Amino acid sequence: MPDLRAAAQHLYPDLVDLRRLLHRFPERGNHLPETRRIVLEALEGLPLDIVLHETTSGIVAVLEGDQPGPVTLLRADMDALPVTEETGLEFASLHDGFMHACGHDLHTAMLVGAARVLSSMKSDLGGTVLFMFQPGEEGFAGARFMLEEGLLETTEDRPSGAFAIHVNTWTRTGMVLHRKGPQLASDDEVRVTVRGKGGHASAPHLSYDPIPVAAEIVLATQTAITRRINVFDPGVITFATVDAGTTHNVIPETALLVGTIRAVSDSTRRQLHELINRVVPGIAAAHGVEAEVEIDLGYPVTVNDPDHTAWVDAVARNTLGDDHVVWMDSPFMGAEDWGFVLQEVPGTMSFLGACPPELEPGRAAGLHSNRAVFDEEAMISGTALHAAVALSRAMSGE
């Protein structure tokens, strides 16, 4: 195995320039024209076949090695968040109200770096590498759209292994974390509409006030979770918005609750859906009002294939050192549309520490914060690990 960290270190100045360019011009959603242009320019001159998706700004760059071997899928998400940046960085966002607050600019630069490293080894590379540059991870299901458009049919043989990296600020730079099985939760949106009868606030007995019913639904849901959901297979229901009423002396006719349902197994996900569909109408009926539950299915559980993840762990230790790789004890309740890919291809997502050295891990601003700052040196480890996964699969023929 060549010294991939050294190869990534050599590219580091270019990766910093690319990352900062992406950071200045963040775009949100599935259509990222400026981001796509920047990435395509960064890939120019490499021996890649470029496939541009039409339903999104997705890019699939195909590197065919000169030797036989498996097809490996490597992924980076490219989209930003609707966040107003307050980092004070000299390369801060120039697009008001948008920011790369989740590190996707680092992800994209790392995957470009891996494409450059592996392209330089094309004559010795076995198999094919698909570099998946994906839009719309932040709530727009970009991965699902890319799958529907034929991502896995880009080559004659489908990918037999998939790998993705997500940076974080809660561990020191270069630390790799992952686990076998569920690593991230599913994420479904729930809307509860309580319909009562409006009236004067001085005479609630002449109305059917939806607000206390909504409040009881929030509390009863939390209690029901502790009684009906196995604590060792956790689930979360959080109502994040409550909307009711227009003034202090009028009982409104409706109250709206909007929230998220999260689980780390399909069975608990189903239980949570059943629970809320049972609790809500029951409480509403007890108060003589009506309530409607709407659940929009979002991202599935992100499940790391156990065998593939054990293999990635060994590759990471060989590439970065034993002291830079840690097994996670439990899943993280955030969600990722990488879960759609892992439903189709055995693969892994690894977290990569990128906490700035001057900050204490765990105290730095977290993902999605308007003050999120990342240590760019993490891109050296991330680039090397992407390349190592593809090259190791090629060498093993798996």
CA–CA separation, 375 and 357 (whole Å): 7
To which H or E segment does residue 134 belong? strand 126-134
Handedness of CA 100, 21, 115, 50 (dihedral sign): positive
Residue pair 187/294 in contact (Cβ under 8 Å)? The answer is: no
Which of helix, strand or coil describes residue 268?
helix
E-assigned strands of 146-271?
161-172, 176-178, 181-184, 187-195, 199-200, 235-244, 250-251, 254-263
Backbone angles phi, psi at 292, to 5 degrees: -120, 135
Instruction: Name the catalytic one among 208, 376, 377, 398.
Output: 376
Q: Which residues contact 6 (CB under 8 A, 6 or more apart)?
A: none
Pick the closest to residue 226 from 216, 217, 239, 236 (CA basis).
236
Instruction: Check if 299 is active-site.
Output: yes
Find the length of the chain.
398
Instruction: Check if 294 is active-site.
Output: no
CA–CA separation, 203 and 194 (whole Å): 19
Pick the closest to residue 74 from 125, 112, 21 (CA basis).
112
Instruction: Name the catalytic one among 208, 253, 299, 336.
Output: 299
Residue pair 281/238 in contact (Cβ under 8 Å)? The answer is: no
Residue pair 353/310 in contact (Cβ under 8 Å)? The answer is: no
Query: What residues act catalytically?
Result: 299, 376
